[in-house]
Amino acid sequence: MSSVTQNDIVKALSGVIDPASGRNVVAAGLLRGLIVRDGHIGFSLEVSPERGPSMEPVRRECEEAVRKLPGVLSVTAVVTAHRDQPQPAPRPAPQPQAAHGHDHGHGQRRTSAHAGPIRVPGVAAIVAVASGKGGVGKSTVAVNLALGLAKLGRRVGLLDADIYGPSIPRMLGIKGKPEANAETKKLIPMSNYGIKTMSIGFLVDEDTPMIWRGPMVQSALTQMLMDVEWGELDVLIVDMPPGTGDAQLTMAQRVPLTGAVVVSTPQDIALIDARKGYAMFEKTHVPVFGIVENMAYFVSPGSGEKSYIFGQGGARRMAETLGCDFLGEVPLHMRVRETSDAGTPVVATAPDSEEARPFIEIARRVGAHLDRALSSTEHRAPKIVIED
């Protein structure tokens, strides 16, 4: 298979005409954030806000033009609307490494002009595992929750939506790159311990910094949802990036989330940020199944004495205050850390152990929430509400 280059992409897009200017989309300066990684292509078309709704045919034409190139496995194009008229951009350099940087929401606002709800065929439910800040063990909880649900008999997938810090490949002990279906050109998810998994970490080197701004984050998340052959799943667990930025809002607003799980540690500073995550889901009308208190206490290997290093019971009290379910507490065990680093998560390799028991119980509680949510929506399509 030949390797497609940026110049190939630019040449193909030069055949697509921008109806407003009469020039091709490259010459008109609409092309932004072109990413080429192992046959997977992403880019955005930047226009003024009033042009956004009319650009969908052009976006589709651009995707189709690139998709015809030899060596292309998948293409995701997005339309972004900018408050100011976009200025013509120079032709991309032959070997870019990423887009132009983070978009933290300051200054000029960008929105996707074709941001309709994303449907994932074959996936019965999608559950986000989120945290208000990093360093609370959210990915550890997400991995072991997914494995716990699988142990309880559900067909489970795991999407690593942490674009800037993907850790799921290492935690599940998966190496290599996903292959594409020759007919559909969709990616076949990687798998281990019975869990279908997709992560941006499979497509880039582990040490490569992901310096992407908002539209490209949205594009990558959309591609990992829609351009992957997930098959029939009872639930897709989504390991969200920490915080409440572009990636989180994309998932909360555009994906029909069945529910969310918020992870926090007991100390006050983490709980403040966890409340922000909870509030984001409330604002976007995503049910919060409950709160998990991770690193609840440390058990001394010798004496078995509990030490409440980060405080005691903070997440439980927050759940009571907010009126949501407290899903459980996970102690700080060295074995959990060691198995996560080694790619042998404790629920998969020692499901009957003391360390795995809290994750299994959390999975039972989440499963009960799933059953109630699915039974209440069985005869109606999910409603996606988007608020500014």
Residues 79-101 have a mean pLDDT of 41
**CA separation (Å) from 194 to 127, 189, 190, 200?**
18, 12, 10, 20
Q: Please choose, from the candidates 220, 165, 171, 216, the residue with its C-alpha nearest in 3D space to the C-alpha of residue 197.
A: 171
Task: Quote the percentage of the chain above a pLDDT of 90.
Answer: 31
What CATH number should be reported for the domain whose range is 6-112? 3.30.300.130
The CATH-assigned architecture of domain 126-376 is: 3-Layer(aba) Sandwich (3.40)
Residues 339-353 have a mean pLDDT of 92
Q: Could you read off the pLDDT of 257-315 as tens digits, one per residue?
A: 899 999 988 876 667 777 777 888 888 888 889 899 988 888 777 777 788 887 788 78
In whole angstroms, give the CA distance from residue 185 to residue 63.
Answer: 13
Mean of the per-residue pLDDT values of the chain: 78
Helix (H) or strand (E) holding 56: helix 56-67
Out of 60-64, 200-204, 222-226, give the one with best mean pLDDT.
60-64
Helix (H) or strand (E) holding 263: strand 259-264
Helix (H) or strand (E) holding 260: strand 259-264
DSSP 8-state class, residue 187 = B
Q: Could you read off the pLDDT of 110-164 as tens digits, one per residue?
A: 333 334 456 788 999 999 998 876 778 889 999 999 999 999 999 999 999 877 7
CB-based burial, 331-340: b 16+ in 10 Å, e otherwise: bbbeebeebb
Residues 220-240 have a mean pLDDT of 88
Q: How many Cβ atoms sit within 10 Å of the Cβ of residue 143? A: 29
In whole angstroms, give the CA distance from residue 44 to residue 50.
Answer: 17
DSSP 8-state class, residue 131 = -
Q: How many CA atoms lie within 13 A of 186 on its CB side?
A: 16
Domains 6-112 and 126-376 share a fold: no
- The structural domains of the chain, with segments of one domain joined by +, span 6-112, 126-376
Q: Could you read off the pLDDT of 53-82 as tens digits, one per residue?
A: 688 889 889 989 999 999 888 787 777 654
In whole angstroms, give the CA distance from residue 251 to residue 236.
Answer: 13
**pLDDT value of position 195:** 94
The set of residues, in sequence order, having a beta carbon less than 8 Å from that of 300 and lying 6+ positions away, is 306, 307
In whole angstroms, give the CA distance from residue 56 to residue 88.
Answer: 20
**pLDDT value of position 44:** 78
Record the pTM. 0.67
- Given a contact cutoff of 8 angstroms between Cβ atoms, the answer to whether 234 and 124 are in contact is yes
